[in-house]
Amino acid sequence: MALLEVRNVSKHFAGLRALDDVSLSIAPGTIHAIIGPNGAGKSTLLNVLTGLIVPDTGSVVFDGQSLLGLPAYDINQRGIARVFQTPEIFPDMSLVENVAIAAVAARDGSYRANFFQHPRALQPVREKAESILADIGLGAYLNTEARHLSRGDKRRLELAVCLAHQPRLLLLDEPTAGMSHHETHSTAELLRRLSRNGMTKVIIEHDMDVVFSLSDRITVLHQGRIIADGPPDEIRGNPTVQEAYLGGAHL
Amino acid sequence: MITPLYAQSLLREGAVMAAVAVALIGLPWFLTAIGGYSELATPIVLWGIFALGFDILIGFTGLLSFGHAAFWGLGSYAAGLMLLRVTDGFIPAVLVGTLVGAVASLLLGYLTLRRRGIYFSILTLAFAEMFYYAALSPLQQWTGGDNGLTGIPPADLCGIAMKGEAIYYVIAVTAFIGIYVARRIMRSPYGLILRAIKSNETRVASTGIDTRRYKLMAFVISGVYAGLAGSLSAVYQTYVPTDALHWTTSGQVVMMAVIGGVGTLFGPMIGAGIVLYLANVLSGVTAQWLLIQGLIFMGFVIFLPGGVVDAGRRLALLLSRRPAPTDKRAAGTVSVHPAQAE
């Protein structure tokens, strides 16, 4: 059974068809890439999945339950985390605090009236945050304010924040954008490692090396429509994709 | 900045609270020494409690309310009416006043937190003004209208009449407890989550946290402090002026928080001291003291946006050490490659 099932989703913005009858199915434990030229509707699709946008029609079912109309925090608590296109972090808080907030949300749920809880109860949260940061390669900067990080490291920090929840589905919006060659390589390596632990991922990516080496399945969006959907080898040889995506150049 | 993640040693927390106790006990003498008068200590500590709770909202959660006069004023009227019509007991009057502040803030917070930024501020202002006009005329049977609530008898706490020095020490003990509680709240998970909401609300929501309920809690906590301070002020003054609900009361607490330094808890309390000291001392020197107060406020916002506390911190840093080489790295951009970090 699919972990996430998107059926006939459409969204129009003042005459623009951002998503046009999009259906796709994400199998558990896979890395599913969504590619397509700028403006194809990739980020809009992620916004629908995370509850930031409610589609005009269609359904989104995660693990047997509909996500439509749920607030963003509820969708996150059900196991879907997202790394945004521009890093969404807490710039004036330290790295360990950034991750600790997610660890608190994982521990306490969306709300708890524990405003008088003793600080000692936060020690396990801090240790969890520290170990996640060490694991992702930011362990040397636990008490640095997040705004001092480079763009690539901010993205990694956001990934660490997402991982603190141990999500079942991780959505990554261009995780390697703005990264050096070396950073891209190590991020791809990290994503591969996470997949071995069974975490399902949807990834929007422009770096075709990353897409074809990493993903189990690729969906191609063009002007809000799905024009191809299949395993990497099939997509690589698909003439429609080559026409739409690269104006005829070979992938 | 207070962080809940690294627990303070008991010794350090004890030292901080001991310093707070010394400051509260010494305030009347200190004021006399700097050309004020000792009775000024009571309103300073009262407004300090108000400003302390307000800082949880403005400094930590990043919500600028222009309507906190509502909770201070409603607390004042409720405590005053209790003393006038029900009992002369200090504790029931203050409890009811605080409770009224809490319930009003729950209601107003629920309605106003649907909007953000300037719209939120305007909504809080509009609601508070409604209470002001309601007290002025339709409810004047209860509130005394233009005259305010007059003739409140002195409250009684364990056989001691609450006036003069006695009430100062009761209010000082309340402030001491209020400071301890606020510090505990900021070291609970709320300390992290409220600061995170100020820093990046989108990320908080996408991290599985119901931001509206946490913001509402911050609003109610500050409303409880405002209601408590308002009740105490009714007991102290034995009079509730209609000004208690006027928007200038909301403006006053914002000014105190900014002058003292938002997000520091102690800052807004120091701000309350500075504003009230200047108002009293300057008004004795010149009739134009509001003009001078305005200039001082502008000076703080322009030249010391972090307030008195931040200025003191920077001065201490400047005096205690020269910039160490590690500081340079912390201030610049840090890039980590996993190969080096691992």
Average pLDDT over residues B262-268: 92
Whether B310 is in a domain gets the answer no
Query: What is the tally of structural domains in chain B?
Result: 1
Name the residue among A71, A81, A153 with its Cβ closest to that of B336.
A153
Question: Of the candidates A82, A106, A138, which has its C-beta nearest B206's C-beta?
Answer: A82
Question: How far does B217 lie from chain A, in Å, by closest CA?
Answer: 8
What average pLDDT score do residues A7-16 get?
90
Q: What is the mean pLDDT of residues B218-229?
A: 97
Q: Cβ–Cβ of B3/A150 closer than 8 Å?
A: no
pLDDT at residue A163, rounded to an integer:
93
In a domain, B117, yes or no: yes
Q: What is the pLDDT of residues A129-158, one digit of tens each?
A: 999 999 888 999 999 999 999 888 898 999
Question: Chain B residue closest to A106 (CA)?
Answer: B208
Q: Is residue B1 part of a domain?
A: no
Higher-confidence position of A39 and A75: A75
In this complex, the residue of A114, A161, A182 whose CB is nearest that of residue B207 is: A161
Is residue A8 predicted with pLDDT exceeding 80? yes
Task: Evaluate whether residue B287 is within a structural domain.
Answer: yes
Nearest beta carbon to residue A101 from set B193, B221, B338: B193
Q: What pLDDT score was predicted for residue B2?
A: 66
Cβ of B342 within 8 Å of Cβ of A100? The answer is no
Answer yes or no: is B342 within a domain.
no
What does residue A217 show for φ and ψ, rounded to 5 degrees?
-150, 145
Q: Closest approach of chain B CAs to the CA of A105, in angstroms?
A: 6
Q: Which residues contact A226 (CB under 8 A, 6 or more apart)?
A: A22, A23, A24, A219, A220
Q: What is the pLDDT of residue B1?
A: 54
Answer whether residue A179 shows pLDDT above 60: yes
Q: Using a CB-CB distance cutoff of 8 angstroms, which residues of chain A are in contact with residue B200?
A: 88-91
Q: What is the pLDDT of residues B136-175, one digit of tens each?
A: 888 877 777 778 888 888 877 887 777 778 889 999 999 9
Is 50 exceeded by the pLDDT of residue B283?
A: yes
Residue range A185-210: mean pLDDT, rounded: 86
Q: Which residues of A touch B208 (CB under 8 A)?
A: 73, 76-77, 102, 105-106, 109-110, 165
pLDDT band at B44 (very low <50, low <70, confident <90, very high): very high
pLDDT in tens, B106-127: 999 999 999 988 999 999 999 9
Residue B274 covered by a domain:
yes
Task: Using pLDDT thresholds of 50, 70 and 90, give the confidence band for residue B33.
Answer: confident
Q: Do the Cβ atoms of B131 and B70 come closer than 8 Å? A: yes
Whether residue B57 lies inside any domain: the answer is yes
Q: Confirm or reject contact between B9 and chain A (CB < 8 A).
A: no
The answer to whether residue B187 is domain-embedded is yes
- Residue A46, Cα to own-chain centre: how many angstroms? 8
Predicted local confidence at residue B260, as pLDDT: 92
Say if CB B288 and CB B274 are below 8 A apart. no
pLDDT in tens, B305-326: 888 898 888 888 888 875 544 4
The structure's pTM equals 0.90
Residue B338 pLDDT level (bands cut at 50, 70, 90): very low
CA distance B36 to B256: 18
- Could you list the residue range(s) of the whole structural domain that residue B255 is in? 9-305
Task: Please state whether A64 falls in left (phi above 0), alpha (psi between -120 and 50) or beta.
Answer: left
